Amino acid sequence: MVRKARIAVLVSGGGTNLQALIDAQKSGIISNGEITLVISNKAGAYALERAANAGIKTETVIKKDTPDFEGRLIELLEENGTDVIVLAGFMSILSERFTSHFEKRILNVHPSLIPSFCGEGFYGLRVHQAALDYGVKVTGATVHFVNEIPDGGQIIMQKAVEIQPGDTPETLQKRVMEQAEWIILPLSVEKVCKEITEG
């Protein structure tokens, strides 16, 4: 039996990227890894329901109720034997203490072509609004390793998406998810899992 990399997904909301990963695992796009844990920093996040429906163990860690928030996350991830961590709409900036503990093992998907429209304050619809305000013709998504600098880690994969006339931040967000995020996130996770299991 070939060992699979153990994947933990950190979520805060609806979990559409988590669903893309669950689907990719079912379809065999992710074959060298297995999602074994989903942690939410928001109670009642719909992502937890998606995880439960897929038979994946879930945990909730609320920052304001947890004196050592990152310490608790590290503890849960270590207990799970986590190899790869995916931030899927995880709305909490992680410090160097956390990122250096899992160097080159934390992946994030950002809804623009880094280095455009990224860094502190650029998240959710704000990213798409900024792209439209600037008038760029092409945007997209980037999967990158996470370090202590927001959106500052090494890029793993990018995919471009064209901006259409009449786009709103909402229509653009949906297209970037469907045409870029949900494609390159599973592919990047598989790439990193393969490197870990074969390395």
11: closest CA among 44, 36, 34, 42?
Answer: 42
Which spans in the chain are helix H?
A: 16-27, 46-53, 69-79, 96-101, 125-134, 169-176, 182-198
Characterize 113-127 residue by residue with b for buried, 16 or more Cβ atoms within 10 angstroms of its Cβ, and e for exposed: bbebbbeeebbeeeb
User: Of 101, 110, 128, 144, which is the active-site residue?
Assistant: 110
Give Cβ neighbours of residue 5 (< 8 Å, ≥ 6 apart). 32, 33, 34, 83, 84, 192, 193, 196, 197
- Catalytic, 101? Answer no
124: closest CA among 110, 141, 138?
Answer: 110
What are the catalytic residues? 110
